[in-house]
Amino acid sequence: MEEREQALPLRQSPRIILRHWSIVLVLVVFASLPSCQPWPKFDYGDALAKSLLYFEAQRSGRLPHRQRVTWRADSGLTDGLEQGVDLVGGYYDAGDNVKFGLPMAFTITMLSWGVIEYGQQIAAAGELDHALEAIKWGTDYLIKAHTHPRVLWAQVGDGYTDHYCWQRPEDMMTSRQAFKVDEENPGSDVAGETAAAMAAASIVFRETNPHYSHLLLYHAQQLFEFAEKYRKKYDESVPTAKGYYPSVSGYGDELLWAALWLYKATTDSSYLDFVAANAYSLGGITWAMSEFSWDVKYAGLQLIASTVPSPLFSSN
């Protein structure tokens, strides 16, 4: 873990420091409580509501009438125009106006996983509609970004010029150049994570919107084939991403992660066979895990794999 933290770009350092100080703060607070005092109660329903509200504040594009964060307005309405594609929509990154494909897709995967596992509890809290809207806002954009079976637009905006001027997205005048991965310049990690996001979301919408679910699955299968056949780290094809969301772990975890989500979405044994045949070579059973993030998916895929009945792996 020490080597990995040293390898992270400067942009990630404040998050690491904040995490460490948060742990210290929690320890100080609890240490100061009298031993006879009951544990404080937390309103997790309120935390859930605010976390979903956050995504509305991060929306890019033409905002819907149901938008609850009313101080936000339409923005990024020409994204992709210079490249001749429609890349309007999606989510801005944390605090800036760039749309980074890898962490955005991972966000959609995790939102979908949350609804799959805890949909009833989210509904009981009155937040299921908001959760579904958050997922669909992301997947609508990911569908746009997948303009060809072997083309995925992986980023809109440039982090370096964007960070020269911190401003509202409604007022931004910084570069909106878009960057893609394709056959000549592949990106297995971003394509694999996007496939995972679409496969997971297809499960979420299977009953409420079957046509949309099938569309997501169609894109997910194409993206997995692209990611698996043309293997390369995306930050080698999109160098501007390297200073912000570099693929330190490589693409092996995303290939396994995507295959498992596609198996969950389709029950097609070929995806499970891929995982069984490649789990060792792609690092799925060799890494000692101390992280689960937009970059490192091994812990998550190991957790999902643990729920698959073992007889399915017996032949391997």
Is 121 or 95 the better-scoring residue by pLDDT?
121
CA-to-CA separations, 60 to 33, 64, 138, in angstroms, rounded: 43, 11, 10
pLDDT beyond 90 at 94:
no
pLDDT beyond 50 at 9:
no
Is 95 or 304 the better-scoring residue by pLDDT?
304
Mean pLDDT (whole number) for 2-13: 36
Indicate whether 183 belongs to any domain.
yes
Indicate whether 19 belongs to any domain.
no
pLDDT, averaged across the chain: 87
Q: State residue 19's pLDDT score.
A: 34
The pLDDT tens digits for 131-183 are 999 999 999 999 999 999 999 999 999 988 888 888 899 999 888 999 999 99
Q: Which domain holds residue 110?
A: 45-307
* 194, 223 Cβ separation under 8 angstroms: yes
pLDDT beyond 50 at 18:
no
Mean pLDDT (whole number) for 15-42: 44
Residue 42 confidence class, pLDDT cut points 50, 70, 90: confident
Q: For the domain that residue 95 is a member of, what is the CATH number?
A: 1.50.10.10
pLDDT beyond 80 at 25:
no
Q: State residue 37's pLDDT score.
A: 55
Indicate whether 315 belongs to any domain.
no
Mean pLDDT (whole number) for 220-247: 96
pLDDT beyond 60 at 6:
no
Is 245 or 33 the better-scoring residue by pLDDT?
245
Indicate whether 190 belongs to any domain.
yes
The pLDDT tens digits for 283-310 are 988 767 788 999 999 999 999 998 887 5
Indicate whether 263 belongs to any domain.
yes
Mean pLDDT (whole number) for 95-109: 95
Q: State residue 287's pLDDT score.
A: 67
Q: What percent of the chain has pLDDT over 90?
A: 74
pLDDT beyond 50 at 262:
yes
Domain count, the chain: 1
Q: How far apart are CA 234 and CA 189, in angstroms?
A: 6
Q: How far apart are CA 115 and CA 132, in angstroms?
A: 8
Q: State residue 26's pLDDT score.
A: 35
Q: How far apart are CA 48 and CA 34, in angstroms?
A: 29
Is 44 or 3 the better-scoring residue by pLDDT?
44
Using H for helix, E for strand and C for coil, what is the string for the chain?
CHHHHHHCCHHHHHHHHHHHHHHHHHHHHHHHCCCCCCCCCCCHHHHHHHHHHHHHHCECECCCCCCCCCCCCCECCCCCCCCCCCCCCCECCCCCCCEEHHHHHHHHHHHHHHHHHHHHHHHHCCCHHHHHHHHHHHHHHHHHHCCECCEEEEEECCHHHHCCCCCCHHHCCCCCCEEEECCCCCCHHHHHHHHHHHHHHHHHCCCCCHHHHHHHHHHHHHHHHHHHHCCCCHHHHCHHHCCCCCCCCCCHHHHHHHHHHHHHHHCCHHHHHHHHHHCCCCCCCCCCCCCCCCCCCHHHHHHHHHCCCHHHHCCC
Is 37 or 44 the better-scoring residue by pLDDT?
44
- pTM comes to 0.85
* 142, 198 Cβ separation under 8 angstroms: yes
Mean pLDDT (whole number) for 33-46: 69
Indicate whether 112 belongs to any domain.
yes
Q: What percent of the chain has pLDDT over 70?
A: 85
Indicate whether 135 belongs to any domain.
yes
Indicate whether 262 belongs to any domain.
yes
